[in-house]
Structure 1
Amino acid sequence: MTTDHASDRVRAEMLELIPALRSFARRLDRSPSNVDDLVQETLMRALANLDKFQEGTSLKSWLFTILRNTFCTRFGLAKREIVGLDDCASARPTVNAPQEWAVRAQEFHRAFLDLPRHYRDAVDIILIQGQSYEVAAERYGCPVGTIKSRVNRARAQLAQQLD
């Protein structure tokens, strides 16, 4: 296109095609604000590249092609971008506060000290030291079943006190 008169005529025709562009954009995206943005970006790209439009071809087809390509570009970008996820506190992994674990450890220690001596000894050798029931039975001079019973009762008492 070489003359300003032809350029003005194309711009006027572009204005007449805005309702058709909006209708086509609504087929691609239901959001009114997205439709407005899509039509506006299409018109901006068309005006910026008006020198590439060939006189005698269909302006409507050219604008629709620009609109479709703009939509496809946006759609591709939207699939790759996750909007707001980096800023969203609910998406961050949570870590319990260390003071909570310190308080729980103190509660457990107090509950452990409240156990009768023979229960504490059984828990210590089996659960803390990791020895077998047989070793514990030998050490305290009682049957294996007694050690198992003491550990079980100690666990029940600890659970009751800590709940």
Structure 2
Amino acid sequence: MKIVLQRVQQSHVNVNQHIVGQINQGLTLLVGISPTDTDAELQWLARKCLDLRLFPDPEGNPWQASIQDIQGEILVVSQFTLYGDCRKGRRPSFSGSAKPDQAEQIYEKFVAFLRQSGLKIETGQFGAMMQVEISNDGPVTLLLEREAKPA
């Protein structure tokens, strides 16, 4: 699984000119799913997103508070293109990305792990053509990645 995490002032997702997910201060997560992702990767990455200290504390000291500490909001958007391989030719290959049926199940499970936090969790629409508007705060953008360990 790969996640592009952005600290945001606000963010929303439109599908066919209708907002399907919208948050205020918090995190926008662009999530790419691998066919080898297991619950271990999902839980580890959900915990990492919830626990990273990316926000200032009430006194304004940077990098002191997590999304949970500030009771922020999270917008999760599926993003199979994170597994795009552009090393050969002029068209990306997406062979490293999970197939849609499998990816949707894994994505929904990841969202469920985040929802256990009790925070407001919004999503895009899996498989839809989406327009994502992000007001990046900082800007703060991180790449999180965790692949399943070989058996």
Q: Considering fraction of residues, name the structure with more helix.
A: 1
- Normalising by structure 2, we get a TM-score of 0.23
Q: Could you say which structure has the larger radius of gyration?
A: 1
Instruction: State the structure with bigger RCO (CA 8 A, min sep 6), 1 or 2.
Output: 2
- Normalising by structure 1, we get a TM-score of 0.22
